[in-house]
Amino acid sequence: MNDSLVKTLNVLALGRSEELEEWLGVLDGRVQLTRALTLAEAPQALREHSYDLVVGDANLLRFLIGLKRPAQVQESAGGLTSYTWVLDPQGRFLGRFPSEDALPPQVEEPLMQAALDTLKSLKSSSPSSAPAAHRLDFTTDTGDIYQAVLTPLRSGDGVLAGLSVSVTDVTRERRLQNRINVIDDAGRQLVRLDAEQLTKRNAAERLALLEEKVMHYAHELMHFDHVAVFVVDRKTNKLELALASGMPSAVRGIDLYANTEGNGICGYVAATGRSYLCPDVSKDAHYIRGLGNAQSSLTVPLTLGDQLVGVFNIESDRGCAFTEEDRQFAEIFGRSIAMALHTLELLATERHTMTGQLRQDVKAEVLGPLNDALTEVETIREEFIGLDDLRRRLDGLSETIVGIREAFSRVTSPASCVVGSKESRGPRFDPVLQDKRVLIADDEAILRETVRDVLASYGCRVTAVADGPSALAEIARQGAFDLVLSDIRLPGKNGYEIFAAARVADARTPVILMTGFGYDPNHAIVRANREGLNAVLFKPFKVDQLLTEIRSALQSAARAT
């Protein structure tokens, strides 16, 4: 044994027994040894010194597991407070720690009665049938919560030696957990409500509902009044403002990207995936002003598994307004926001891409067997030369299979988002539409071409483009159009940017936005609505709907001149 090492150990020996004395004899002179012969002496010994090792009878040591030194009793101003009693079998105190502090009467009196009842029960039961320990909760009139753990103490031969009662003030811990549970439940309600009502609401209504719920829970449960949710555009790495409350309108005009430098705290969080608590914005180089009089901020990532989808930013007009608990709450709620946003975006993807995959899967499952059947019919037909009646029947069967195959191919071919467009083609005359210059911007070729053909048949002069930059270029080149029809999500630009450019060219230009069954990450519809958007068309739409909205928008513009 390395005596130089062992001598540095401080050892507390609890109790007295032959085995303990023999073991201590080996250590005698090699360690700093303190003796506590009774349980009543142990609290004082622990209060005066710290120890590397505590040895003693196993049943007595069980009591010490819940016993804390004074430095640990008050860990912080809001930390846990522990009390320990040791009672003999008759319910008399053998030790009480800390001796100078008393439990509230609303806790101490019923706890003492519970301890006496437990001792009475332990005396009448065998050691094997008695529970090792049990827990009790006590709540005061002020709402403070104390948890007690009652543990029987037995000698080596199983005889009841007393009762250890460990009491902990768990008020802060329980309130924290309750708040976490409430926020988590609110998040679940947010996601569940979104999923249940998606099919009942259009895109703008779903976004408005989502914004209402997010802001309600942020304010009521977490007391956050100035919040913004940004979504990361995976193609450009740009942070697009999705939801905001209590923020100045100038926030919408700030271009931020997922980058650690020059893009504010939101850009930093989006780039690193780490939460950022800023106690004083005036001293933080990352901060870019959002709230006009902000003093502090908290920003957390919105994540789904390992994927970052956005950031949740909260600002306050008070310095040092946010704590680590707030960070934890924001991260928990942020996961639910991310799930709600992701659910909307996935549904849009499913509508535009999964439908195409489904068509291919169905074709593979159905057309394959049809082709096999056609081949088999032709083979059988060649084997029955001379049997004209049978061959005619086989020819008829072959024609039927070919007809089914062609019909099925037509049904599963990519369909236009404009219902009834085929019936609407051919020259028509409409004085409202005749000679009107219309810009169509949509990256879906079938829809773009179909709408172009429909409007051209009514005498419109149509310019059709497939992306945002092309739309802006046409507005710059041709000047103001009589009407602009744009999807909310275009390569390179969003619907609001097209709307804004059209209105810059001529503030009277009517604009109609189109959207699929999905998520508007740029809040284009809501933003444009506030600034005079004429209408929204939700795909798929009917030709009658298209023409009605266009006529209404053109007539409104004419009346305004």
Is the pLDDT confidence value at 194 over 50? no
Q: CATH: 3.40.50.970, 3.20.20.140, 3.30.450.40, 3.90.1170.20. Which one for 174-334?
A: 3.30.450.40
Q: What is the pLDDT of residue 503?
A: 92
Query: Is it the case that residue 261 has pLDDT exceeding 80?
Result: yes
User: What is the rounded average pLDDT of the residues 24-43?
Assistant: 70
d(CA 34, CA 18): 17
Q: pLDDT tens for residues 324-378?
A: 888 888 888 888 788 777 665 543 444 444 344 445 554 555 556 666 666 666 6
Look at residue 394 in the predicted model and tell me its pLDDT.
66
Beta strands in 354-488 (DSSP E): 418-419, 437-441, 461-465, 483-487
Choice between 546 and 183, residue whose per-residue pLDDT is larger: 546
Domain 76-169 grouped into CATH 3.30.450.20: yes
Domains 76-169 and 418-560 share a fold: no
Overall pTM > 0.95: no
Sorted by where each begins, the domain ranges of the chain are 1-56, 76-169, 174-334, 350-411, 418-560
Highest mean pLDDT among 80-84, 300-304, 535-539: 300-304
| Comparison of pLDDT for 34 and 474, the residue scoring more | 474
45 Cβ contact list (under 8 Å, min separation 6): 12, 34, 36
pLDDT (mean) for 532-553: 86
Q: Supply the pLDDT for residue 77.
A: 31
Q: What is the pLDDT of residues 452-510, one digit of tens each?
A: 988 999 999 999 999 999 999 999 999 999 999 999 888 888 888 999 999 999 999 99
CA distance 459 to 453: 10
At residue 297, the pLDDT reads 92
- The pairing of strands 276-278 and 145-154 is unpaired
For the chain, percent of residues with pLDDT exceeding 70? 63
What is the per-residue pLDDT for 276? 94
The dihedrals phi and psi of 272, each to the nearest 5 degrees, come to -100, -25
Distance CA 42, CA 58 (A): 15
Looking at the predicted structure, is the pLDDT value of residue 269 above 90? yes
More confident residue, 112 or 212: 112
526 pLDDT above the threshold of 60: yes
Coil, strand or helix at 235: coil
Query: 149 vs 134, 145, 198, 224, 557, CA distance in Å?
Result: 6, 13, 49, 38, 77
Mean pLDDT of 295-305: 89
pLDDT in tens, 302-319: 987 778 889 999 999 889
254 CB burial (10 A radius; 0-12, 13-18, 19+)? middle
247: pLDDT confidence band, cut at 50, 70 and 90? confident
**Is a pLDDT exceeding 50 seen at residue 424?**
no
318 and 280 Cβ atoms separated by less than 8 Å: no
Question: What value does the mean pLDDT of the chain take?
Answer: 75
Superfamily, domain 418-560? Response regulator (3.40.50.2300)
pLDDT tens-digit readout, 133-174: 788 998 888 888 888 888 888 776 777 888 888 888 888 777
**Residue (of 133, 131, 139, 132) closest to 111 by Cα position:** 139
Higher per-residue confidence, 451 vs 132 = 451
At 66, the pLDDT band (50, 70, 90 cuts) reads very low
Spatial contact of 362 and 412, defined as CB atoms under 8 Å apart = yes
Pairing of strands 134-139, 93-97: unpaired
- Determine the pLDDT at residue 133: 76
